[in-house]
Structure 1
């Protein structure tokens, strides 16, 4: 049985939950970027290291664990080494529940997310600003590579995001693990159309796959619960997070030859001003055009991966992965 987390210390900064597995280089880049954040030295960091799923995964898991045991630069570093393989969904669900239960809030990252220097400041400012507004489900650090016509540094969207996010204990209590019950509720309230419209993925299919055991997504259940509760999530207008793991190295992420998610990170600090949590029609329309492009590129990337044996047969050398702008 894994040891319980230590009792919380008094800290003005939200605790950071970092979930790692078997990618030492991605983990190093994630930690180094996070340590370079303004406010990192005042932030407690909890690193949750999942156990290997198979014996073959053990060497890389051990490399990751050897590295994270050396991490410094934070108010405190607590490494939680799981004794059995939990999988990503259970790891995140239990880790976030532990931290929000102890601290009342948490910032959540995975081992393939590079953050801008202003990420922690933005997340903490937003957690403070909306702590007493239950209409705001979460704070998200990633923003798609689009341009918004707005003077504000933030906006609200109906769907949360999983690439660098934060929430509060009372909002996390909305999470439901029963995917079948969530799907039934979405169908009963005729919300499946809205469910699929708020992002570049087929979320209904993703939820059905989770129910059938074909994926292990915690996020799809978090999003479904959010939509059913009519909550909003706060985003920066320019991204503070970059996903460095869309390279085929992760358990849950295939390689994209043409990457529509690549972003240039925000350089300076973004201002968080309290605003009414409503979705901008203009922002929604801008994102809808982007989502259609991503869906088209999904087929292009799928075809590219399927042609891999033919490319190897003819000896074609693939140039570097390309970034595709909307």
Structure 2
């Protein structure tokens, strides 16, 4: 197996989640032929030191990949800056990268799919990224893949040719969306609350790399290849993450595909199946408020 894309794994202070992520990844046949780069962020404060040390102790014992390189940050970059730096570094060096965070369980066919897709669409400039995750929805199509016009952040891949367009300046992005008359379409197009998320990033209320990646892709009119059955499960929506709180009812929980996902020849355009996802987003919007109410109720008990 030649020319497999390097894997970037971003970890922080969740040793149990990190271990489960790595163990799932090792069940992929391609793992032993893949280069793994682990980016370990430094503790943000004293309370995080012990857990970060435990994570670093674990990752320094990992084996089973072709090569393993560990980058231990000497200061806390935060997830967004760590991802941006790591993805940029590996894209510039290798031309493509597969990206995981420390709370993602992948299917045994995850690496096969990602590498197949990276190879097939390497020269297609319309395609900016590959997603390994898919929402818990049922599609009508018989194809194993579809194209969408927004990315996903849970197990994804991209090429240097696409990532070089990434704009980290949220203010520039929102100004361009307004200038091009795309601001309302941007807010309606992807997951609920994207415009608010971008505004919060500009105001310093979050530091999301994802919302800036999505805005970049949207402005460039690019598309993303996705499996119709998920190859990734997020186990971090449990209140342990820095950027993701606990959902009382988790609408994103999905079943991992047990079979191989074929990277077929399909028309390179946004799929009509997107309407099914739009209906799912309405459910997520409603559950977000239910979740907030449940949290408030539990705090006041």
Partner of 2:172: 181
Cα distance in 2 for partners of 1:310, 1:93 equals: 39
Identify the match of residue 120 of structure 2 among 107, 122, 129: 129
Identify the match of residue 275 of structure 1 among 266, 269, 272: 266
Cα distance in 1 for partners of 2:199, 2:103 equals: 26
Partner of 2:99: 108
Identify the match of residue 80 of structure 1 among 71, 75, 80: 71
Q: CA offset at residue 213 of structure 1? A: 0.4
Cα distance in 1 for partners of 2:18, 2:249 equals: 23
- Partner secondary structure for residue 259 of structure 1: coil
Q: How much is the aligned-residue C-alpha RMSD, in angstroms?
A: 1.1
- Matched residue pairs, number? 301
Structure 1 residues 259-298: aligned runs within 5 Å: 259-281=250-272, 283-298=273-288
- Partner secondary structure for residue 165 of structure 2: coil
Cα distance in 1 for partners of 2:107, 2:185 equals: 31
Q: CA offset at residue 11 of structure 1? A: 4.8
Identify the match of residue 172 of structure 1 among 163, 175, 192: 163
Cα distance in 2 for partners of 1:88, 1:174 equals: 20
Structure 1 residues 1-326: aligned runs within 5 Å: 11-281=2-272, 283-311=273-301
Cα distance in 2 for partners of 1:129, 1:309 equals: 50
Q: Deviations over 1:263-303 (max 9, x none)?
A: 0000011100233321122x121111110010000000001
Unaligned segments of structure 1, at least 5 residues: 1-9, 312-326
Cα distance in 1 for partners of 2:211, 2:299 equals: 33
Unaligned segments of structure 2, at least 5 residues: none
Q: Tell me the TM-score normalised to structure 1 length.
A: 0.91
Return the index of the structure with the highest Cα Rg. 1
